[in-house]
């Protein structure tokens, strides 16, 4: 801009001039804040990059809670910053420290503050319910005043450079296990900042009797959602599909999820339980659900199979009636006749059924023998069976066969 206005000098001269004439701002002074034992703790989140689990990348976050007087801390790595995860980490911190401080100082997190106008604050109702259960007072610090929670900010810096830097780990559980040992052996063994003659763990033992006692039961921090499946017996949660009984398809269910378990409830009755998957795009199935669906589908296929035989072959109705009069196993004969229908076609099967009825040879084996005899007389190749896996979803699938005469015509055209 200066050159456009005709300035011919160097940038160095401009910097020197600005340095001489820039107004000098006075450094802001801060009060030293001191607290009593058991009076306050400071809480915050910290980001530590991302963690790959299978084919998914999850954010790696650390929950950090520091007792303001003893500087004892609790930290835990998690894969989400949801409200449920936030409250769950509070519960674990209270248990690890042996009590609850009377107030907790927060940044203006959305999990804590829904709306703020000056000193007028609307807290998240779930956090207020949690605070009432443990009898502490939530206190957000002033906006853009990170110095008010400097103890937790310094603890995060300490955690980031003393523990996490260059550390190797195999999983989230391994990382948290190493973190617990580091807190016990290193963080709590360091000198107390305000009294270097004592250690942090000694100050914690002195502060612990002054913390509020834990309630008789822990606060429920599970994710609770109402959802329903589509036409398939699966419900989707956090990018993964979890199986449910096929009788509950499209019905509203209640999902209750912790950081390790996913439960599905029909009213108050638990209908499914799965280990929570932190990967994405996975399908978690219960063998009982698949077995019940397969048994149900086999019965349905049996009824639909009889209708298909009747529609394809006029003699099928009389043949099935003859099987029933002999107390034959209809499901087995129907399944075999359907396989013959797929392999030989409706015209050949109708001819074999008519011949079998006229001879009194009532049975799927007799029909199969007549079909094979007819193919040998016509000098046709034998029908080869297709081997399928044991998965009931594959075995119960119905595929409509198509004519291959177009390919046969191509072969005849190329032959000499």
Spell out the domain ranges in the chain: 40-210, 223-285, 290-400
Q: Please report the sign of the dihedral spanned by the C-alpha atoms of residue 199, residue 200, residue 201, residue 206.
A: positive
pLDDT digits (tens, 9 = 90+) for 362-375: 999 999 999 998 88
pLDDT digits (tens, 9 = 90+) for 384-413: 777 777 777 777 777 777 777 887 777 776
- Per cent of the chain over pLDDT 70 is 93
pLDDT digits (tens, 9 = 90+) for 49-60: 999 998 899 999
Specify whether the CB–CB gap between 80 and 63 falls below 8 A: no
Nearest to 275 by CA among 243, 249, 252: 243
Superfamily assignment of 40-210 in CATH? Ribonuclease H-like superfamily/Ribonuclease H (3.30.420.10)
Length of the chain: 416
Predicted local distance difference test score (pLDDT) of residue 143 = 66
pLDDT digits (tens, 9 = 90+) for 154-175: 999 999 999 999 899 999 999 9
Q: Please report the sign of the dihedral spanned by the C-alpha atoms of residue 328, residue 332, residue 334, residue 336.
A: negative
The larger pLDDT score, comparing residue 414 to residue 157, is at 157
| Average pLDDT score, the chain | 88
pLDDT digits (tens, 9 = 90+) for 282-300: 999 998 888 788 777 766 6
pLDDT digits (tens, 9 = 90+) for 134-148: 999 999 887 666 567
Predicted local distance difference test score (pLDDT) of residue 225 = 93
pLDDT at 318 over 60: yes
Predicted local distance difference test score (pLDDT) of residue 195 = 86
Query: Does residue 80 sit in helix, strand or coil?
Result: coil
pLDDT at 24 over 80: no
Model pTM?
A: 0.67
């Amino acid at each position: 801009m200066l050159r456009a206005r005709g300035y011919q000098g160097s940038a160095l001269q401009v910097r020197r001039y600005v340095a001489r004439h820039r107004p000098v701002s006075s450094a802001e002074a801060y009060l030293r804040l001191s607290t009593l034992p058991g009076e306050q703790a400071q809480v915050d989140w910290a980001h530590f990059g991302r963690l790959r689990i299978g084919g998914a990348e999850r954010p790696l976050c650390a929950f950090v809670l520091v007792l303001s007087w003893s500087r004892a801390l609790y930290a835990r790595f998690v894969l989400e910053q949801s409200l449920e995860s936030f409250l769950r980490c509070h519960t674990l911190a209270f248990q690890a420290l042996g009590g609850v401080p009377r107030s907790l100082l927060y940044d203006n997190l959305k999990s804590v503050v829904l709306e703020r106008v000056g000193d007028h604050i609307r807290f998240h109702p779930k956090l207020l319910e949690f605070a009432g259960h443990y009898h502490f007072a939530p206190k957000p610090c002033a906006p853009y005043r990170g110095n008010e929670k400097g103890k937790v900010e310094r603890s995060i810096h300490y955690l980031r450079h003393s523990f996490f830097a260059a550390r190797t780990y195999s999983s989230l559980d391994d990382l948290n296990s190493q973190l617990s040992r580091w807190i016990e052996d290193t963080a709590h063994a360091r000198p107390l900042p305000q009294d270097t003659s004592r250690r942090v763990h000694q100050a914690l033992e002195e502060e612990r009797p002054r913390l509020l006692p834990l309630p008789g039961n822990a606060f429920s921090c599970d994710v609770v959602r109402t959802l329903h499946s589509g036409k398939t017996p699966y419900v989707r949660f956090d990018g993964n599909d979890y199986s449910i009984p096929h009788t509950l398809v499209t019905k509203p269910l209640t999902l209750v999820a912790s950081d390790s378990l996913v439960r599905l409830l029909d009213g108050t009755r638990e209908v499914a339980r799965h280990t929570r998957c932190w990967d994405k795009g996975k399908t978690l199935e219960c063998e009982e659900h698949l077995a019940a669906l397969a048994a149900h589908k086999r019965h349905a296929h049996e009824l639909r199979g009889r209708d298909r035989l009747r529609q394809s072959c006029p003699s099928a109705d009389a043949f099935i009636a003859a099987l029933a009069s002999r107390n034959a196993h209809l499901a087995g004969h129907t399944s075999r006749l359907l396989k013959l229908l797929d392999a030989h076609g409706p015209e050949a099967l109708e001819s074999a059924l008519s011949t079998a009825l006229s001879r009194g040879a009532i049975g799927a084996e007799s029909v199969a023998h007549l079909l094979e005899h007819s193919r040998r007389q016509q000098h046709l190749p034998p029908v080869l069976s297709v081997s399928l896996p044991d998965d009931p979803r594959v075995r119960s699938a119905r595929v409509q066969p198509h004519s291959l005469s177009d390919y046969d015509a191509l072969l005849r055209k190329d032959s000499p």
